[in-house]
């Protein structure tokens, strides 16, 4: 108990009230890691907002192509849900459409699959490379601090 008393006495003045010595207290300093995280989030959010808003130098065509590139995945998901709804609403109409799809030759299905794989594969590769560049950039920014 004596060691703890001495440690607290060193930290808090030991209960003595000496008007000549200033009281000891802790100065609250900002957490370095949390401030870096906050700054990173601010930069990321501002860059995301700028990319959604479109840079002034970016052409209208480029923004239009970015918007068109965002359409296939939601269209595929909503189209699949639409197929389920149409099968429940009018089963005969759905059955005739599915018979028509069954008549599509197999090479055409291979071509459709290859084009979808190339599109989504290329998009996935571009996005993963951008993500890796962002990670390297943030690590370099942290190393500078």
Strands (E), the chain: none
Q: What is the pTM for the complete model shown?
A: 0.41
- Specify whether 138 is located in the same domain as 110: yes
The residue count of the chain comes to: 145
Domain extent, residue 90, equals 71-103
> Mean of the per-residue pLDDT values for the chain?
77
Alpha carbons within 13 A on the beta-carbon side of 62: 9
For 38-87, write each residue's pLDDT tens digit.
777 777 666 555 555 555 556 777 777 777 778 888 898 999 999 999 99
- Specify whether 79 is located in the same domain as 108: no
Which is higher by pLDDT, 37 or 15?
37
Domain count, the chain: 2
Residue 142 lies in a domain: yes
Token duo for residue 85: 């709804």
Query: If you ran DSSP here, which 8-state letter would residue 22 be given?
Result: P
Q: Give the range among 2-6, 67-71, 110-114, 137-141 with minimum mean pLDDT.
A: 2-6
- Specify whether 88 is located in the same domain as 115: no
Residue 25 lies in a domain: no
3-state secondary structure of 38: helix
Distance, in Å, from the CA atom of 10 to the CA atom of 38, rounded to the nearest integer, reads: 35
């Amino acid at each position: 108990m004596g060691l703890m008393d001495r440690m607290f006495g060193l930290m808090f003045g030991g209960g003595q009230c000496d008007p000549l010595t200033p009281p000891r207290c802790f100065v609250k300093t900002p957490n370095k890691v949390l401030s870096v995280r906050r700054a990173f989030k601010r930069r990321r959010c501002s860059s995301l907002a700028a990319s959604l808003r479109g840079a002034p130098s970016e052409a209208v065509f480029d923004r239009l192509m970015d918007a068109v590139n965002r359409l296939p995945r939601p269209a595929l998901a909503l189209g699949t849900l639409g197929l389920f709804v149409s099968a429940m609403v009018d089963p005969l109409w759905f059955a005739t459409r599915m018979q028509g799809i069954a008549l599509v030759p197999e090479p055409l299905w291979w071509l459709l699959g290859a084009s979808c794989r190339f599109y989504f594969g290329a998009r996935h590769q571009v996005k993963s490379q951008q993500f890796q560049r962002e990670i390297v950039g943030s690590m370099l920014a942290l190393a500078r601090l």
